[in-house]
Amino acid sequence: MAVTRNSDAVTPVRSSGAFSVWLTRHASTSVGALGRLSRQPFASLMIILVIGVTLALPAAINVIVKNVQSVSSSWNNALDFSVYLKQSVSVAEAENLSQLIRQRADIESVELITAEQALAEFKQQSGFGAALDQLGENPLPHALVVRPGPGNTGASLTLLQEEIGNLPETELVQVDTEWVQRFHAILDIVRQAIAIGSALLGMAIVVIIGNTIRLDIENRREEIEVTKLIGADNAFVRRPFLWTGFWYGLLGGSFALLLVQYGLYLLKEPVARLAGLYQGNISVATLGAAESAAILGIAVFLGLLASWITAARHMRRIEPR
């Protein structure tokens, strides 16, 4: 019986075979690296705690600044300034002046507060109503509360205040919100300090993980020599230490997120009590998904970077004898 060969038969090509092998090796190495960490629970836990606290410090300060900025976001439009008129200016003249200023294109609104309204409000808020009734005449002047338009810049606001201050009816121009600008300037300084501090703490994490990987390499020196003796290259030998750095970064970043979230949880009740005293509604902003992912990503990156630098440096020094 003749044996015929089917020329149409096509031998399947396993294009994914190499990738499957690569993936299986990395999965096995990652599990092995995690197992080595679990066999040294105390030392591993200490390193993870240090990494977590180091990452939690800038993250917590950043969240605090974020909450303060969200509370103060309503102050950005509070650029009003008060214009106190001379005592000789009558109510009619004050009204005409407010109408004139309101017609400017760079003015959003002008509110006239007469001397009588100011005195009545002061009596109500100060609690000295009976004593103020003994005054022979009202010592308070008429005032205008001017709100500039949203298109104004810092230079145009300064020019606007000078122009209104030079009017003959004006006695004094008082800027009520200079402290807001100072406050935001302080927040900018704090954000810059957070960036600098985060960079320094990131370097500290690299040093901590790198030193740990270095000790692990020294402890496994004979194993590395034997592995190289049977033909393993530096990339193969370096792989377990990269996964060790990965796990340190991932677990340390996760612990940092837990610390920050727990701290925010502890702040919710005091903030709610404070908001109740001021009859307001203040909510504590927490870490978003993108921010949490960024913290984990940075932690993993620092762990891989530290382990790669350390392993690459020491692998060249370890050769079979």
Instruction: Measure the CA–CA gap between 211 and 198, rounded to whole angstroms.
Output: 20
DSSP H helical ranges for the chain: 17-38, 41-71, 91-102, 115-126, 129-132, 154-165, 178-219, 221-229, 234-277, 289-315
H/E element, 146: strand 143-148
- Choosing among 3.40.50.720, 3.30.70.3040, 3.10.400.10, 3.20.20.70, the CATH entry for 79-176 is 3.30.70.3040
B/e letters for 203-241, b = 16+ CB within 10 Å, e = fewer, are: eebbebbbebbbebbeebeeebeebbeeeeeeeebbbbb
Q: What is the pTM of this model?
A: 0.63
pLDDT tens for the chain, 321 residues long, are 444 444 444 444 454 577 787 788 878 888 888 888 888 889 889 999 999 999 999 888 888 887 776 665 555 555 678 888 988 888 888 899 989 888 888 888 888 888 888 777 776 766 655 655 666 677 788 898 888 877 776 677 778 888 888 888 888 888 766 666 677 778 788 888 888 988 999 999 999 999 988 888 888 888 887 877 887 777 788 888 899 999 999 999 999 999 998 988 888 788 777 666 655 566 677 788 888 899 999 999 999 999 999 888 877 776 666
Give the chain's length.
321
Q: Count the Cβ atoms, other than its own, within 10 Å of residue 83.
A: 26
- Domain parsing of the chain, residue ranges: 29-74+182-315, 79-176
